[in-house]
Chains A and B, each alone.
Chain A
Amino acid sequence: MNKKFAVPSILVLLSLFVFVSGPASAQCKLGVPAIKVGVQGAASGPHADYGRQIEMGATMAAEEINAAGGVLGCKVEIRFLDDENRPATGVKNARLLVTDWGAHFTVGTDSSGVAMAMGPVLAELKRIHFFTHAATHRLTEDLVAGKGIKEIVRVSVPIYQDAITAALIFKDRMDIKRWANIGADYEYGYVAWNMFKETLRKYRPDVEFVGEAWAPFLTLDFSPHISAVMAQKPDAIFATPWAGEAVMLLRQALIQGVFDNVQVWWQAMGGSVDVLEGISAEVAKDRFKGKLWATARYIHNWPDTADNRAFIERYRKRWARFPNYSAETTYSAFFIMKAAVEKARSMETDKVVAAMGGMQIRNPGGVREFRSVDQQFIYNVPAGRPVMDTRYPIPVLGDLKVFEAKDYYRYPPFTPVSVTK
């Protein structure tokens, strides 16, 4: 090569190199190429829509954060894994995401069973996991407030929503004296029923709990369960199977004439988008006769704020679906992470947790407030009855009962709730 051109051409090459590779990492003030966020949820089987919604919420949050310049100039990168709703898979995924892929944070998890298995592992992996669906109270009350596992942060409302709101709504229904349970046969189902009974008993010592039946995951035929509890002539049913199983449970209850014989059916997480889509035809024909009640961990038609409306518009444009609660909670978890990291200017667990202290953050689902003692974000979600509304193509919860979070969250000192059948 001609020496006259050698130096300039090397300089040009170097500058090209700097231009191409330089700015992205040079701008990231955390000294990493990107903030890696591992995401997991149930993405196959009857509960698969939750995992998909978690993935959609995470993807959209990462896209929006990156489009607005990232977190302290760092791009957010996500990787989604299916936990198949199995504890062993959830634990394996957590290890893989952190140790193999190098995740700085992890987000998601649908089932309480998976969450409780992951809890102690997170402490060992030293990475914060933002739980966005798993509901058992023990995750935050026992593992965080009790055992001090700082790596657990919960963005979604726990089982207080499923159990305590139900008790508050129906305590005034003097016509309902006999409650029966068709429960999900694992921790979530046990705790929901026990917490409901405990709360309702305080207000209504006259109420009887007359029957229970338990259905494990992948129950295809609920008719023995329905028929067993109906044999006790209950006034109301408390039901916790969720997602596709909730849809089929309700359909099997309809053809067994349950809605002719009970006053109320509480389908705890029946306000979930996949369930509302699944029971659309039945709601349109009023087959539940106004007796079906449900809640969720976020419903898209509440709160009626500009933030929420804009979120739904963007979400529908991006995915052609309504956001389920696992989408909103996951989406919000990313913005909570962003706010905390920006304040801490670090991704270390202790600093991020400290930065969340006293945090109040406006999310599509409303203002969430961080409670340090159990690292639970506090916000409220109403309950109501699935109805058709001309503004929406699928049923929404209507006739909303709104309770302030302070009226139905549990507060320390946390008293134990039985976690067995």
Chain B
Amino acid sequence: MRGLAVSGVLLLLAGLAAAQEIPIQEIPVSERRSGLDQMAPETRAMQADDAANPGMLWVGDGADLFARAPSPEAPACAACHETGALRGVAARYPAWDTAEARPIDLEGRINLCRSRHQGAAPLPREGRDLLALTAFVANQSRGLPIAPPADPRLAPARAAGRALFERPLGQLRFSCAGCHDANWGRHLGAAPIPQGHPTGYPLYRLEWQGLGSLQRRLRNCLAGMRAEPFAPDSPEATALALYLMQRAAPLPVETPAVRP
């Protein structure tokens, strides 16, 4: 009996693996949809109302951090960046950093700014302060279309990100594309499969009961696929983020989004 059940599982897995051999098409621009469209009306209402969206608590914290000098002799973020001057920035990250000679995401950019201009230590990833600052900066781009830079130096990392997206990973041999390109709109268990566009990060996930970054979400997905999650700020995570942003363009930025 047990043997039968095990072979049944193996057959099922073999079937899933075989299904992934079929080349998967990228979602055409006209069909790209934010995960917002698949949410329950209550969750959508929560995101739409700034008085109900818990992500706004982090945006408020970020505004305070932005205006405050990290130490008495260092300038505050607001000393260089005028109010509203960062509108549109979140729509084009990750971007190339010449000094680092690698693509960096918005969190990485904020930390580089801290070390280069404020003489401050980088803030820990997933810490409340970095999430708050990132949410504050990204919130200024809310409503603007995602516009990844056409910088040719980003091309190799973006291609690597695409390869990661399409490659079966982990013990279950799932690929990102197998769900989010080939089967979006259907269900995985009880959960609807979204297209997987990172339109609203950092976002408030009801499951997390808090704000989290795209990298945290990717680690979540990878753990679910029984693959080894990317380390924080690893080249793989940034490469995948680069591809995901290109794949999501020109959907509007929603930060701070709310997701189930």
Whether both chains belong to one complex is answered with no
Residues of A within 8 A of B (CB): none
